[in-house]
Amino acid sequence: MTDPNNPSAPQPPAYQPPAYPTSSSDASYQNPNAPVPGKTLGIVAFILALVPVGLQLVGLILGIVALVQSKKAGRKNGLALAAIIISAVFMVIGVVVAIVLFSVFGNAANEIYQTCVVEGADTVTVWGQTQSCSSVR
């Protein structure tokens, strides 16, 4: 403890925080043979992004997690970034295709309903095919 009345008294040393590297490119911490954190997760995310069974959302999430892990370690992870981009693009394409399909089949169902139920016709023609209204009810 310091005495404010006696400035010549010995002062305790000032606190010095430990010196940590300021950037992740410090050579003492970069081992080129060390495994890249998130690399395996990036590979799994990339594979899931390409699977055409609707696993793009899982690939997107895993790709983001892998990319964050790699960035925290100061490393690059191209597969994780590719997984994120591919997953996002395929998800957008999937949504557009779903909207188009719902629109097309919705219009066909509406046409069948209008012709058979509202108008009371015996047959309906949809996409060049004539069907009896009793078979589509």
Q: Can you give the residue range of the structural domain that contains 70?
A: 39-136
The tokens for 133 are 């209204």
Letter for the amino acid at 32? P
pLDDT tens digits, 80-97: 999 999 999 999 999 999
CA–CA separation, 2 vs 10, rounded Å? Answer: 8
Q: Is 70 in contact with 40 (CB distance < 8 Å)?
A: no
Q: What is the pTM (predicted TM-score) of this model?
A: 0.63
Helix (H) or strand (E) holding 67: helix 56-72
Q: Taking 60 as the threshold, does the pLDDT of residue 24 lie above it?
A: no
In a domain, 3, yes or no: no
114 in any annotated domain:
yes
Number of domains within the chain: 1
Residue 11 belongs to some domain of the structure: no
In a domain, residue 34? The reply is no
Mean pLDDT of the chain: 83
> Is 21's pLDDT higher than 80?
no
Burial degree of 43 (CB within 10 A; 0-12, 13-18, 19+)? middle
